Amino acid sequence: MTRLLVWLRQFGIYRGAVDLYARSGLFRGLVIAFIPVAWILVLTIAPYAQMVLISFYERYPLPPDQTVEFTFRHYGSFAERPLYLTAFIRSFVFASLMTALTLIVVFPVAYFISKVAPRGQRTRLLLLVIAPFWISEVIRSFAWMIMLSNSGAVNSLIAWLGLSAEPFEMLYTNLSLSIGVLYLTSLYMLLPVYSALEKIDSQLLDAAANLGAPAWKRFTRIILPLARDGIVSGCTLVFLLVIGLYAMPQLLGGPGTTLFAATIGQIFSKAGDSWPQGSAFSLILIGAALGYVGLFTVLFQSRRRRRAS
Amino acid sequence: MMRLRHFALPAIFWLFVAYLFIPIIVMAAMGFRDSNFVAFPIQNWTTRWYQSVLFDKDIAQSLWLSLKVAVVSTLIALAVGLPSAFLVARTTGIIRAALVAIIVLPAFLPVIVSAIALRMFIGQLGLETGPTAIAIGHAASTIPFVVLMVLTRLNAMNPNIADAARNLGADDVIIFTRIILPYLAPALFGAVMFAMLLSFEDFVRSFFLGGFEQTFPVLLFSKLRFGLDPGLAAISTLVLLISTAIGLYADHFLRRRRMKNGIMS
């Protein structure tokens, strides 16, 4: 390899390019920055810019020989039908509740792995709970469909135990959706919370205990404040994940659990000039979600972190 | 307190593990059910689903498409992510913060919105919905992770090594190929695995950016809306075993490297 590169140096063009790269800061900057900047402009910024533009168009694609008309009516249409507003509010309530539920379920698990389990086993226990991380959202939904359907595992078990002859309607409800979503979100919460807890010096807790601090006080005065940034970033991740969920609510949810992401998806699966409305709704979702998460972060992130950033 | 520590917490942990694994085990078992329907108990067992499902034409095609998309999107993500990481490493202050923010932001926006924004934009690039569009969409979603993984490793690199090579007469190309790339190798390996798996399991982008051909998650999704059958359980089990094995191997690999480096430094 090195020999090839040295051999290449006998060619003037190659040598010139390499020397130019070594000498000219501008050329070096161009070589390094060209692809990233082009990608950011074309595939990160441009699609959203176009989305903003389309959301103000009267119709899209533009009919030929017609001037562009700008309108706010697609944003207005959001408030017109209660269907949209209901799905929107349901999305935010559901995502907030799921975030809280995920934290409640995952925190003791993360605490157990990072503080209670023997040191030598921690990696193994952590691997055990992050193993399902790599399974597709659709496959996870399928697994829970098998568990919760009327002829599924849970209902069969209930019938076999003789608890109830009638199957419980669990699939296509809020219950099945919550169980499935928790399956998806728990690992996004686990990793940040675990790494925050792992950093807490156990001697700090021992010292507090020796000085007579009861367990609940050690929890509220030491563990929670020190794990705060991990909890906040876990909650942010989970909330944004749930608000954008599309496949799982359609597989595990029912007509009564339509979320706003599905509303947007439906608008886009309609043919014709529904793009402006879909764009407006997408931007409403982004704006509201980022605003909500931003407020949450400002309220709960520790002052130390805020000052540092 | 002692009771909480030694009884409740382990109990919660193992309940959580059961919650994670029972559905997967049940699904794997369902793949052995000798019937066309999903139901319990499983009285007659068969391996025919596991044998036949790989030769199902639709499924084989969708898996092949998923694999192709995963490879192409990973190559794109590397081609963009690697120079992006170098660019970030060379900047400082507010420019660096802005650059990192714009590179990482796509990972935090709701997936459905980024898929739709790209779906509306690909026409401007002269693309139709289809495998190329999916690959670009997946690359857009994995680049943030590639950049962060490479950047972490790059920041830990000792700049004296490159300077020493330069003093010994190496030009920038030699330094890049013989020193920087080998140093980054573990991060690149991790990034490749991560990007491939994220692409392979993605549903939303493949759904909105895909054309007539369906990737595996999209095919499974449309089949599941018609009904469940043990054959789908069998193929899902096989796919999840393979992706979990690759994911765990990559994780283990990175962890081991990090530990070794921790001891060395």
Domains recognised in chain B with CATH numbers: 67-264 (1.10.3720.10)
| pLDDT over 80 at A108, yes or no | yes
Instruction: Render pLDDT for A247-298 as a digit per residue (tens, 0 to 9).
Output: 888 888 877 778 888 888 888 876 656 888 889 999 999 999 999 998 988 8
Q: Are residues A39 and A89 in the same domain?
A: no
- Same structural domain for residues A257 and A139? yes
Residue A92 has pLDDT above 90, yes or no: yes
Reported as a pLDDT band with limits 50, 70 and 90, residue A15 is confident
Whether the predicted pLDDT of B265 surpasses 90: no
Q: Worst-scoring range by mean pLDDT, A34-38, B55-59, B81-85, B213-217? A: B55-59
- The answer to whether residues A44 and A103 belong to one domain is no
In 3-state terms, chain A is what percent helix, strand and coil (to 5)? 80, 0, 20
Looking at beta carbons, which residues of chain B come within 8 Å of A123? Answer: 255
- With CB atoms and an 8 Å threshold, state whether A149 touches B38: yes
B109 three-state secondary structure: coil
Q: CB contact, 8 Å: B220 with chain A?
A: yes
- pLDDT for A306 beyond 70: no
Write out the residue range of the structural domain in which residue A235 sits. Answer: 81-308
Nearest CA among A241, A37, A239, A246 for reference residue A138: A246
A283 in a domain, yes or no?
Answer: yes
Question: If you ran DSSP here, which 8-state letter would residue A67 be given?
Answer: -
Cβ pair B58, B231 in contact under 8 A: no
Q: Are residues A90 and A136 in the same domain?
A: yes
Residues A292 and A243 both lie in one domain = yes
Kindly determine whether residue A142 and residue B228, on different chains, have CB atoms separated by under 8 Å: yes
Q: State the average pLDDT over residues A36-61.
A: 87
Cis check for the bond before B41: say yes or no (omega within 30 of 0). yes
Q: Is residue A70 a part of any domain in this protein?
A: no
Instruction: Give the gap in angstroms from C-alpha B112 to the nearest C-alpha of chain A.
Output: 6
Q: Do residue A39 and residue A177 come from a single domain?
A: no
Res A104 pLDDT > 70: yes
In a domain, A149, yes or no: yes
Higher pLDDT, A242 or A205: A242
% chain A with pLDDT above 70:
94
Which of A124, A129, A139 to substitute to test the interface with B, most B CBs within 10 Å?
Answer: A139
Number of domains observed in the structure of chain A: 2
Residue A63: predicted pLDDT = 67
Query: Chain A residue with minimal CA distance to B121?
Result: A47
In a domain, A131, yes or no: yes
- Encoded tokens for A80: 């017109």
Q: What is the CATH number for A180?
A: 1.10.3720.10
Residues A36 and A96 in one domain: no
Picking from A111, A129, A285, the nearest residue to B113 by CB comes out as A285
Nearest-by-Cβ selection for B177 from A5, A21, A43 = A5
Q: Decide if A35 is inside a domain.
A: yes
**Both A98 and A30 in a single domain?**
no
As a whole number, the mean pLDDT across chain A is 84
Q: What is the mean pLDDT of residues A82-99?
A: 90
CB B198 within 8 Å of CB B145: yes
- Looking at the complex, report in whole angstroms how far the Cα of residue A54 sits from the nearest Cα belonging to chain B: 9
In a domain, A74, yes or no: no
Query: Are residues A44 and B107 in contact, defined by beta-carbon separation less than 8 angstroms?
Result: no
pLDDT single digits (tens) B131-161 = 999 999 999 999 999 999 899 888 888 878 8
The amino acid at residue A119 is: R
Mean local confidence (pLDDT), A148-157: 81
Give the mean model confidence (pLDDT) for residues A54-78: 76
Tell me the C-alpha distance between A207 and A218, whole Å: 10
With bands split at pLDDT 50, 70 and 90, how would you rate the model's confidence at B80? very high
- Predicted pLDDT of residue B3: 62
Q: Please provide the average confidence, as pLDDT, over all residues in chain B.
A: 84
* pLDDT for res B82: 92
Note whether A150 and A271 are same-domain residues: yes
Give the number of other Cβ atoms within 10 Å of residue A248's Cβ: 22
Question: Please, which contacts does A199-202 make with residues 24 or more away whose CB atoms are closer than 8 Å?
Answer: A199/A226, A200/A114, A200/A115, A200/A226, A200/A227, A202/A115
What pLDDT shows up at residue B263?
41
Q: pLDDT at residue B58 above 80? A: yes
Chain B residue with minimal CA distance to A2? B174
Within a domain: A256: yes
Query: A261 and B102: CB-CB below 8 Å?
Result: no
Contacts of A277 (CB under 8 A, 6+ apart): A74, A77, A267
For the cut 70, the answer to whether the pLDDT of residue B261 exceeds it is no
Quick one: which of A180, B135, B215 has its CA closest to B223? B215
Phi, then psi, of B88 in degrees rounded to 5: -60, -40
Q: What are phi and psi of B123, to 5 degrees?
A: -60, -35
Question: In the predicted model, is pLDDT for residue B178 greater than 60?
Answer: yes
In a domain, A286, yes or no: yes
- Cα distance from A232 to chain B (closest Cα, Å)? 14
Q: What is the pLDDT of residue B85?
A: 92
CB of B29 closer than 8 Å to CB of B42:
yes
b/e burial code for range B105-135 (CB count within 10 A of at least 16 → b): ebbbbbbbbbbbbbbbbbeeeeeebebbbbb
Would the ipTM clear 0.90, i.e. be above it?
no
> Is pLDDT larger for residue B11 or for residue B45?
B11
Query: Same domain for A43 and A87?
Result: no
List all residues 6 or more positions away from A186 whose beta carbon is below 8 Å from its beta carbon: A102, A105, A106, A109, B16, B20
Q: What does DSSP assign to residue A220?
A: I
Residues of chain B contacting residue A237, judged by C-beta atoms under 8 Å apart? 108
For residue A273, what pLDDT is reported? 65
B115 pLDDT above the threshold of 80: yes
**Tokens in use for B73?**
């999107």
pLDDT band at B264 (very low <50, low <70, confident <90, very high): very low
Mean pLDDT of B227-231: 78
Q: Tell me which residue has tokens 């608000």.
A: A243
